[in-house]
């Protein structure tokens, strides 16, 4: 029988039936209960005519409903299109339309965004709402409580698409990276295989589960081994520390901003975090000098990893048992290869700087409906990351820069072109360039250099307000500088 993500949950539900699968707002859902809810929702999707290969969009925050929805889609052989809850109507028109989504599962307070564009999306005819935190009688809850609680899983191969995650594109339009069951099953072994975790572990899910890193490290990894997922969708640093203490969290996989915040937080000594065994930072670069500070303050190992959506996403990670080399993103995962290539796709010797390329079980099937874009990044079987790096004699990888214009802010990728296109829609903007500005907590922030048209007034607040109408908040410039001219020769 071919393994699939749905069957992975079935196995864990059988083996770890009474274990806590999710812990959310103090409420525990066991693996047995999770599987029943997944089957109920899978049956409902089937009754709506959703079948193998169809797309179901999941736009939910970190809550049990996300986990249920994700696996219900997997069990019926459909494809989960995981969307950022911050997406605007302008962005959703492209995301839902381009993906050929037939059903959207989202929270009640987000429905307005969908209703504004519904007439532009003839394929997306079905909507299931979770009702939000305080609603006990939501349509979603009614579905998972009524059953039926058994579900037939269709034949699924490892090469079948499982998930589609939209990633920023160089041209300004997000591209749907199609990840297969095989891609994600190999990634689900990160905790058990690489970090030797067991069903006794509990991870703190702070990164959004719609993010590739969040899904693998904080959902697929724990479910593979029967571990617990402590879900948080709204939090403060005091809330994080108290949750670690109360729920006996054993690991955290998150972006550098979280770990930097923990180091700098006044009053952290009030909390008992002795349950923590290790932490993994990824999504953007962690300032190397802060890793020993974190380890000394909390007596916990912190290792850095690296990945990209197109690689499902994890490519390399520092191991608990290996020597830590400051500035390194660790060594390549089992089943994956890494090389450094020059601009003519020739391999470079050890220690030389070039483009990091990846090959292996984690590389995506391709971009949905865009063979040309796929061919640009996957050449001769190698995924070209556009990140500049070097590999030392021990196989440790060190990032040194980027080949493409991209900003990484709090773990989210922003292609300047996408923000620039929206800025150019404003009547007062003559010319614009979006750049990344270094920032300790976020890694970088988005900054816009704007040349105004002389006859139309506009200030920084007006420009930002315009961007917020069309873009998710992390893509909106945090700074706007008005300039006389822009030199695009170095772009």
Using H for helix, E for strand and C for coil, what is the string for the chain? CCCCHHHHHHHHHHHCCCCEEEEECCEEEEHHHHHHHHHHHHHHHHHCCCCCCCEEEEECCCCHHHHHHHHHHHHCCCEEEECCCCCCHHHHHHHHHHCCEEEEEECHHHHHHHHCCHHHCCCCCEEEECCCCCCCCCHHHHHHHHCCCCCCCCCCCCCCEEEEEEECCCCCCCEEEEEEHHHHHHHCCHHHHHCCCCCCCEEEECCCCCCHHHHHHHHHHHHHHCCEEEECCCCCHHHHHHHHHHHCCCEEEECHHHHHHHHHCCCHHHCCCCCCCEEEECCCCCCCCHHHHHHHHHCCEEEEEEECHHHCCEEEECCCCCCCCCCECCEECCCEEEEEECCCCCECCCCCCEEEEEEECCCCCEECCCHHHHHHHEECCEEEEEEEEEECCCCCEEEEEECCCCEEECCEEECHHHHHHHHCCCCCEEEEEEEEEEECCCEEEEEEEEEECCCCCCCHHHHHHHHHHHCCHHHCCCEEEECCCCCCCCC
- Residue 452 domain-assigned? yes
d(C-alpha 282, C-alpha 168), whole Å: 18
Residue partners of 360: CB distance under 8 A and separation at least 6 = 333, 335, 336, 337
Give just the sign of the alpha carbon dihedral 425, 427, 433, 434: negative
Question: What is the per-residue pLDDT for 491?
Answer: 52
d(C-alpha 358, C-alpha 339), whole Å: 7
d(C-alpha 314, C-alpha 308), whole Å: 7
d(C-alpha 288, C-alpha 176), whole Å: 32
Are 280 and 303 in contact by the 8 Å Cβ rule? The answer is: yes
- Residue 274 domain-assigned? no
- Residue 435 domain-assigned? yes
Question: What is the per-residue pLDDT for 170?
Answer: 61
Question: What is the per-residue pLDDT for 405?
Answer: 84
- Residue 266 domain-assigned? no
- Residue 426 domain-assigned? yes
Are 319 and 356 in contact by the 8 Å Cβ rule? The answer is: no
Are 89 and 472 in contact by the 8 Å Cβ rule? The answer is: no
Give just the sign of the alpha carbon dihedral 34, 52, 180, 178: negative
β partners of residue 447: 435, 479
Distances (CA, A) of 84 to 60, 95, 352, 488: 8, 10, 37, 31
With tokens 């492209």, the residue in question is: 94
Q: List phi, psi (to 5°) of 148.
A: -70, 160
Query: Cβ of 342: how many Cβ atoms within 10 Å?
Result: 12
Q: Which CATH number fits the domain that encloses residue 424?
A: 3.30.300.30
d(C-alpha 169, C-alpha 461), whole Å: 27
With tokens 């109920």, the residue in question is: 40
What is the tally of structural domains in the chain? 1
- Residue 36 domain-assigned? no
Question: What is the per-residue pLDDT for 404?
Answer: 83
d(C-alpha 408, C-alpha 387), whole Å: 12
**For the chain, what is the radius of gyration of the CA atoms?**
22
Reported as type and span, the H/E element at residue 129 is: strand 126-129
d(C-alpha 76, C-alpha 95), whole Å: 22
Per-residue pLDDT of the chain (491 residues; tens, 9 = 90+): 578 999 999 999 999 999 999 999 999 999 999 999 999 999 999 999 999 999 999 999 999 999 999 999 999 999 999 999 999 999 999 999 999 999 999 999 999 999 999 999 999 999 999 975 445 679 999 999 998 999 999 999 999 999 999 998 666 689 999 999 999 999 999 999 999 999 999 999 999 999 999 999 999 999 999 999 999 988 899 999 999 999 999 999 999 999 999 999 999 999 999 999 999 999 888 999 999 999 999 999 999 999 999 999 999 999 988 998 999 999 999 999 999 999 999 999 999 999 999 999 999 999 999 999 999 999 999 999 999 999 999 999 999 998 888 899 998 989 999 999 999 999 999 999 999 999 999 999 999 999 999 988 899 999 999 999 999 999 999 999 999 999 865 45
Q: Residue 419 is part of which domain span?
A: 407-482
Alpha-carbon 441 to chain mean position: 18
DSSP classification of residue 192: I
- Residue 470 domain-assigned? yes
Are 45 and 56 in contact by the 8 Å Cβ rule? The answer is: yes
- Residue 278 domain-assigned? no
Supply 463's token pair: 């420009």
Question: What is the per-residue pLDDT for 125?
Answer: 95
- CA torsion 38-41-42-45 (nearest 10°) is -160
Question: What is the per-residue pLDDT for 137?
Answer: 76
d(C-alpha 79, C-alpha 75), whole Å: 10
């Amino acid at each position: 029988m071919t393994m699939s993500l749905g069957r992975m949950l079935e196995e864990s539900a059988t083996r770890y039936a009474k274990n806590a699968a999710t812990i959310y707002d103090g409420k525990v859902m066991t693996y047995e209960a999770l599987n029943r809810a997944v089957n109920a929702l899978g049956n409902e999707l089937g009754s709506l005519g959703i079948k193998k290969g169809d797309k179901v969009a999941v736009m939910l925050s970190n809550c049990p409903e996300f986990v249920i929805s994700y696996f219900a889609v997997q069990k019926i052989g459909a494809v989960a299109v995981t969307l950022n809850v911050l997406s605007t109507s302008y962005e959703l028109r492209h995301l839902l339309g381009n993906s050929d989504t037939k059903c959207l599962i989202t929270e009640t307070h987000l429905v307005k965004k969908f209703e504004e564009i519904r007439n532009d999306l003839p394929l997306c005819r079905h909507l299931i709402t979770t009702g939000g935190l305080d609603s006990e009688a939501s349509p979603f809850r009614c579905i998972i409580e009524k059953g039926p609680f058994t579900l037939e899983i269709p034949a699924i191969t490892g090469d079948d698409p499982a998930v589609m995650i939209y990633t920023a594109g160089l041209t300004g339009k997000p591209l749907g990276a199609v990840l297969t069951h095989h891609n994600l099953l190999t990634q689900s072994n990160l905790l058990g295989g690489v970090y030797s975790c067991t069903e006794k572990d509990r991870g703190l899910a702070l990164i959004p589960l719609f993010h590739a890193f969040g899904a693998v490290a904080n959902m697929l990894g724990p479910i593979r081994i029967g571990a617990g997922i402590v879900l948080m969708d709204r939090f403060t640093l005091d809330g994080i520390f108290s949750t670690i203490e109360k729920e006996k969290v054993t690991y955290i996989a998150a972006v550098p901003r979280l770990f930097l915040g923990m180091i700098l937080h006044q009053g952290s000594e009030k909390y008992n975090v002795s349950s923590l065994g290790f932490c993994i930072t990824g999504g953007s670069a962690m300032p190397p000098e802060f890793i020993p500070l974190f380890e000394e303050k909390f007596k916990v190992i912190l290792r850095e990893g690296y990945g990209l959506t197109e690689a499902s996403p994890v490519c390399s990670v520092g191991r608990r048992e290996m020597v830590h080399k400051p500035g390194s993103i660790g060594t390549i995962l089992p089943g994956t290869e890494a090389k450094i290539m020059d601009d003519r796709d020739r391999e470079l010797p050890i220690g030389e700087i070039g483009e990091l390329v990846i090959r292996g079980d984690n590389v995506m099937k391709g971009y949905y409906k865009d063979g040309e874009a796929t061919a640009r990044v996957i050449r001769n079987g190698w995924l070209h990351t556009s990140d500049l790096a070097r590999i030392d004699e021990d196989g440790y990888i060190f990032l040194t820069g980027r080949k493409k214009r991209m900003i990484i802010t709090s773990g989210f990728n922003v292609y300047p072109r996408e923000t620039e296109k929206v800025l150019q829609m404003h009547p007062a903007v003559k010319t614009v360039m979006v750049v990344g500005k270094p920032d300790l907590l976020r890694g970088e922030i988005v900054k816009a250099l704007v040349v105004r048209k002389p006859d139309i007034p506009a200030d920084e607040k007006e420009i930002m307000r315009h961007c917020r109408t069309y873009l998710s908040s992390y893509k909106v410039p945090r700074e706007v500088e008005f300039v006389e001219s822009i030199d695009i020769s170095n772009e």
